[in-house]
Amino acid sequence: MQLVTRTQWGAPATTPAVDLPTARGVKVHWIGGPYSTPDHGQCAAKVWSIRAEHLADKVNDWVDIAYNFLACGHGYVFEGRGLRKQSGANGNQELNRAHYAVCAIVGTGETAGSGLLTGLRDAVDHLRANGAGAELLGHRDGYSTECPGDALYRWVHAGAPRPDGPAPADVPAGRAAPPWADYDGHPLRNFTQSDRARMWQAYMAWRGWRLTVDGRYGDASEAVCRAFQAECNAAGYPVGAVDGVVGARTWATTRSRPVSR
What is the per-residue pLDDT for 207?
Answer: 79
SS3 2: strand
Mean pLDDT of 205-211: 82
pLDDT digits (tens, 9 = 90+) for 187-196: 455 556 677 7
Mean pLDDT of 206-213: 81
Let me know whether 147 and 186 are in one domain.
no
Whether 165 is covered by a domain: the verdict is no
Whether 54 is covered by a domain: the verdict is yes
Residue 216 has pLDDT above 90, yes or no: no
Let me know whether 142 and 87 are in one domain.
yes
Let me know whether 252 and 143 are in one domain.
no
Let me know whether 57 and 151 are in one domain.
yes
Cβ distance 136 to 28 under 8 Å? yes
List, in order, residues 6 or more apart from 157 with CB less than 8 Å away.
137, 138, 187, 190, 191
Let me know whether 249 and 152 are in one domain.
no
pLDDT digits (tens, 9 = 90+) for 7-38: 999 999 999 999 999 999 999 999 988 898 88
Let me know whether 96 and 9 are in one domain.
yes
Whether 168 is covered by a domain: the verdict is no
Report how many domains make up the chain.
Answer: 2
Mean pLDDT of 61-88: 96
What is the per-residue pLDDT for 186?
Answer: 47
pLDDT band at 167 (very low <50, low <70, confident <90, very high): very low
Angstrom distance (rounded) from CA 14 to CA 252:
39
pLDDT digits (tens, 9 = 90+) for 91-137: 899 999 999 999 999 998 888 899 999 999 999 999 998 889 888 99
Angstrom distance (rounded) from CA 205 to CA 54:
35
Let me know whether 66 and 150 are in one domain.
yes
Let me know whether 131 and 239 are in one domain.
no
Q: Please say which residue of 142, 157, 172 terminates a domain.
A: 157
Q: Please say which residue of 157, 173, 194 terminates a domain.
A: 157
SS3 153: helix
Q: Please say which residue of 157, 172, 205 terminates a domain.
A: 157
Angstrom distance (rounded) from CA 62 to CA 189:
35
The domain of 198 spans: 182-256
Whether 163 is covered by a domain: the verdict is no
Let me know whether 25 and 121 are in one domain.
yes
What is the per-residue pLDDT for 148?
Answer: 94
What is the per-residue pLDDT for 137?
Answer: 92
What is the per-residue pLDDT for 209?
Answer: 85
Angle of CA points 11, 16, 19, to nearest 5°: 120
Cβ distance 78 to 4 under 8 Å? yes
Q: What's the pTM?
A: 0.66
Cβ distance 135 to 23 under 8 Å? no
Let me know whether 189 and 148 are in one domain.
no
Mean pLDDT of 153-181: 68
